[in-house]
Structure 1
Amino acid sequence: MPAPTNTLKQRFKAGDTTFGCWLSFAEAAPTEVVGTAGFDWLVIDGEHAANDIRSIRDQLMALQSSPSQVIVRIPVGEPWIVKQVLDVGAQTILVPMVESGAQAQQMVRACTYPPHGIRGVGATATRSSRFSTLTDYTRTADDQISLIVQVENRAGLAALDDILAVEGIDCVFIGPADLAADMGHPGDMTHPKVHAAIVDTLGRIRDAGKVPGILSLSDESIEAYLDAGARFVAVGIDVITLAQAARATADRWIKSQRP
């Protein structure tokens, strides 16, 4: 049996616009709940959430029956963590803070088996091969791995053409918060200079034949990014969604009973 079909990769190729949510609790139970919401995809965040390889594995297991496709954002662009995340069953990897074409190419190689890449051939006992039940896994896995790289500072923007020229990258994702901070406007992702850079970058990604991606919790910004060409859009973060709903409920009842 071959590796499972990566339907998110298929949607990238089809040019679909997809919407997703960040998972930041680093726990299987809330992840399973969000998996029932109906997002096109979910990102298990290994960069800013308190995740390790075991909690990433447990969340992949919790989402196995979810219709949402699963992405794992690794904490840093290093081949060793790419190998671990792929072996526990991820098929789509998001790499933060990519700043050069050479770094992007290294991540492609980390996701690919020899002779074209450096992924270790040890799937026999791993969850990725369903513990050897997917007998053709190592021969078919490369075609089902999707790589997303984040461009989120001035160095990344300066190297954008080199990054876009790398084969094996499906999507380039703009990190608006880091970009705003690096441009001297921390916390102000709507600053005119930041917004102009984001809009320009989304268009360049689209024109290069890659999928342009971004995150925003603002309806107005999301609409503007879609108009600029974004086709992979994070529109929620689980922790923020819970916090806002809990605070709104508390305010509604406590304020109404305690004038």
Structure 2
Amino acid sequence: MTLKQRLAKRDRLIGTFVKTPSPIIVEVLGLTGLDCLCIDAEHAPFDRLAIDACVAAARAADKDVVVRTPALSPEHVLNALDCGATGIVAPHVRSAEEARELARMSHYGAGGRGYAGSSRAAGYTTRPMAAHRQASAERTVVIAQIEDPEAIDAIDEIAAVDGIDALFVGRVDLTVAYGAESQDDPRVLAGVEAVCAAGLRHGRPVGMFLARIEDVPYWASRGASLFLLGSDHSFLLAGAADLLDRGRA
């Protein structure tokens, strides 16, 4: 079953962010049972070649990988998908029009994703155009990140856009945008609740990052099903801290 199908079924999916532009990190995480990886090209130093190498490593491990692009722009979306990523997490989707543009640039069609049969996604010219276009339509996951007050105000319109496979709450950016001091600020919590409720109303899966893994059951009960938790950096820090604690005990 594809990641797109599992998202649509609301399976509980657990993934993590990859912050280090190294295919070896992706190769190691590919040995785990994580449902997917998210290459964070928005907040980590991934250039086109690093994205390409990391996606190749994920595909070699048969691990689904999505790319959080640096911006909502056709060139970033095209590059990630041509490299063979399972899908896109697009930051700062603020309106239904931006959601429609994201869906358009992520799929083949009039005014949409540019076609190249020479890409990894297309099998380096070994896959007929019709077969590749069908496989892309069936497989490509398009996730709109909701992290601005304007997006919360327009969440029903955004959630109703065809071609968006999931909404993803950027809770940290939402906290900053509201001028709040804590991710548990009532305005932030109300925003997350609004995204979950809109997802349920419009049949749109919802995902999120959570700083506290213990919060997963609560947000799952509110309708969220995709959780990108931690990162390779947090694993290194936690592992080093545990090593020190146990070594000094």
With the length of structure 2 as denominator, give the TM-score of the two structures.
Answer: 0.93
Please say if residues 46 and 74 of structure 1, whose CA atoms lie closer than 8 Å, have aligned partners that are also in contact. Answer: yes
Equivalences, count: 247
SS of 1:64's partner is: helix
Given candidates 5, 25, 46, the residue that maps to 1:10 is: 5
Whole-angstrom distance in 2 between the partners of 1:114 and 1:200: 32
Whole-angstrom distance in 1 between the partners of 2:96 and 2:71: 16
Letter of the 2:200 counterpart? R
Whole-angstrom distance in 2 between the partners of 1:206 and 1:241: 32
Given candidates 126, 133, 143, the residue that maps to 1:133 is: 126
Please say if residues 152 and 194 of structure 2, whose CA atoms lie closer than 8 Å, have aligned partners that are also in contact. Answer: no
SS of 1:72's partner is: strand
Which ranges in structure 2 are unaligned for 5 or more consecutive residues? none
SS of 2:60's partner is: coil
Letter of the 1:85 counterpart? A
**Percent identity at matched positions?**
30
Please say if residues 40 and 67 of structure 1, whose CA atoms lie closer than 8 Å, have aligned partners that are also in contact. Answer: no
Residue matched to 1:51:
46
Please say if residues 3 and 139 of structure 2, whose CA atoms lie closer than 8 Å, have aligned partners that are also in contact. Answer: no
Letter of the 2:125 counterpart? S
Superposed CA deviations along residues 46-105 of structure 1, whole A, max 9, x for unmatched, are: 100110111111011111233431111111000111111111111311101100111111
Residue matched to 2:203:
209
Whole-angstrom distance in 2 between the partners of 1:179 and 1:33: 32
Residue matched to 1:148:
143
Letter of the 2:97 counterpart? A
1:178-217 equivalent positions in 2, closer than 5 A = 178-186=173-181, 188-217=182-211
Please say if residues 82 and 110 of structure 1, whose CA atoms lie closer than 8 Å, have aligned partners that are also in contact. Answer: yes
Which ranges in structure 1 are unaligned for 5 or more consecutive residues? 1-5
Q: CA deviation at 1:196?
A: 2.8
Residue matched to 1:229:
223
Whole-angstrom distance in 2 between the partners of 1:107 and 1:144: 16
Please say if residues 185 and 191 of structure 1, whose CA atoms lie closer than 8 Å, have aligned partners that are also in contact. Answer: yes
Query: Where does structure 1 differ by over 6 angstroms across 4 or more consecutive aligned residues?
Result: none
RMSD of aligned alpha carbons: 1.6
1:245 and 2:247 aligned: no
Letter of the 2:88 counterpart? I
Residue matched to 2:214:
220
With the length of structure 1 as denominator, give the TM-score of the two structures.
Answer: 0.90
Residue matched to 2:58:
63
Residue matched to 2:165:
170
1:100 and 2:95 aligned: yes
Whole-angstrom distance in 2 between the partners of 1:79 and 1:175: 21
Whole-angstrom distance in 1 between the partners of 2:216 and 2:9: 21
The structure whose Rg is larger is: 1
Residue matched to 1:118:
112
